[in-house]
Amino acid sequence: MPLIETNVIPGASVYGVPQMSYTVAGAAGKDYSAALTAATLRESAAIEASAASYSAVVKERARKVDELGQVMAYLAEAFANLKVKDTTSNDTATVNNGAWVNGTALKYGITLVFMPNTAIMTRANIMKGQNEIQYAIDTEDNNLQQDMVALQGLLSKRDNAFSSASRIVRKADDAASSVIHNIV
């Protein structure tokens, strides 16, 4: 069934032009402006529902980027605490909040290599972990930006639908006022 259906009103004509009744998605007996307004508002509601799901995805991605950023901060702190500054050394450092850091990284599919039963990592493993975390942050940030652009497009469509409905109602009101003014 089309969004708006037209039906001829039997026996109703003005100067030989048959009068029409409009049905919007099952709601019969509306004039054209009411039908078009209802259709536009339904479109706007559908867009709003899509925007809500996109918004949830955007919030989840932002939370993930935030958590990965916290993991990266802990790894950067551990790297800064390495005692030997020679990049070829196999120095070790303790990662503060190591259990949370490891659990969060695992939650997002990243395996950090700690020394057994400790929160201690070697220089090489800290650097490897930083690279993997940074890659995950960059990937999620790119996806987040794409989702935000899509969300912005949906919200723009919704705003256009609302303003179209407003214009239709205003034009119908102006036309009715003009007819009443001309009769009087």
Question: Are residue 25 and residue 112 in the same domain, yes or no?
Answer: no
User: What does the pLDDT profile of the chain (184 residues) look like in tens digits?
Assistant: 455 566 666 776 655 666 666 565 555 555 666 666 777 777 777 777 777 777 888 899 999 999 999 999 999 999 999 987 777 778 999 999 999 999 999 999 999 999 988 999 999 999 999 999 999 999 999 999 998 888 888 888 777 777 777 777 777 777 777 777 777 6
Q: Containing domain of residue 12, as a range?
A: 1-30
Tokens, residue 95: 């990662």
Give dist(CA 82, CA 4) in Å, integer: 70
Yes or no: say if 92 and 121 are a contact pair by the CB < 8 Å rule: yes
pTM, two decimals, is 0.66
What's the CA gap between 114 and 91, in Å, rounded?
A: 13
Shared domain for 89 and 146, answered yes or no, is yes
Neighbours of 50 (CB within 10 A): 14
Verify that 56 and 25 share a domain, yes or no: no
Task: Measure CA 98 to chain center.
Answer: 33
Yes or no: say if 152 and 62 are a contact pair by the CB < 8 Å rule.
no
| 169, part of any domain | no
* Count of domains forming the chain: 2
Q: Do 26 and 44 belong to one domain? A: no
As a residue count, the chain comes to 184
Would residue 182 count as lying in a domain? no
